[in-house]
Amino acid sequence: MPQGSLQVTKGAIALCTLALTVGLASPLAAEEAESGFLGLDLRGSLGEGRHSRYVPPLTNPIFNETPYITTEARGFYFYHDIPDDFVTEGGSVNLFALQLRLALTERLGFIATKDGYADINFDEVLPDEEGFANIAFGLKYALISDPENEGILTAGLRYEIPIADLETGGIELQGNGDGFLNPFITGARAFGDLGLQASLGANIALDSDEDTSIFHYSLHADYELLPGFFPILELNGFTAFDTAERLTGALGDLDGVDLVNFGSEDRGTTVTIGGGARYRLNDHLQFGTGAEIPLTDRDDTIFGYRLYFDVVASF
């Protein structure tokens, strides 16, 4: 079996194991949530008489935050192909991550949405590397919540801690500065079986000489084709607005998109399109799978294509 296929299979097996674990735990956690555990409203946007339709985004999992206030665990795996046009002449990234969200009230939620373990393999130039991704956490608040019309608008702020655990060939792969602040706004509206979501944010480097700051933006559409089955189409974009000075010259155009920040002096824009589907097994458990490819030039970007698998356990 080819190495890439083997890694994808391992990722799927790991998520299936996680799904069985959280699936068994969800009903008990839901009972605790309904009883007001520790005085918190753990059901958030999904409590009785509130929003009834919840289909989280699939691609761009690091930045495309759901507007709904939820208590959940989302385990995801992606296989990321590095294109042959990249300076390393190809390679791959395997990322295993677990996102946690906690509804404090109907409108206020705590989120921890970037973490995980990355296994990075380059075909040429740079040595392979593996280690932990940076950790990002914060709060979000539903400015508008209209369950009757299935509409919601939420603003949030995250801080990303630079743990500096991924480095290859003397290049820090996640940033070498003081971390990032990530303000964002995200909203959703349903029209019968059709659901639309959009998000916009900025990942702002606190040390602009070391790390590049970017705007990120996403569009999402889903449709309940069969009971509990939702085909999904998504568009994502990443545009630098304050470039750093860590990589210059021949390497100054390198674009790490979302997971990796090279601190390049002339990073451009990457736009991607993704598709897939979610299956809602019950009120507490959803599975998702899909793929994503870039629409923009691949010469200087680390983005060849991605394959996604995830499981969302909402309590």
**DSSP code for 237:** E
Query: 140 or 10: whose pLDDT is higher?
Result: 140
The model's confidence at residue 5, banded by pLDDT at 50, 70 and 90, is very low
pLDDT in tens, 172-213: 777 678 999 999 999 999 999 999 999 999 999 999 888 889
- The CATH code for residues 3-314 is 2.40.160.40
Q: For residues 157, 232, 77 and 155, what is the CA-based torsion angle, rounded to 10 degrees?
A: 10
Q: How far apart are CA 209 and CA 300, in angstroms?
A: 20
Q: 53: burial class by Cβ within 10 Å (0-12, 13-18, 19+)?
A: middle
| Mean pLDDT for the stretch of residues 92-100 | 94
- Side-chain half-sphere of 302: how many Cα atoms within 13 Å? 23
Of the listed ranges 20-24, 95-99, 124-128, 255-259, the least confidently predicted one is 20-24
Q: Which residue has the tokens 């002449």?
A: 89
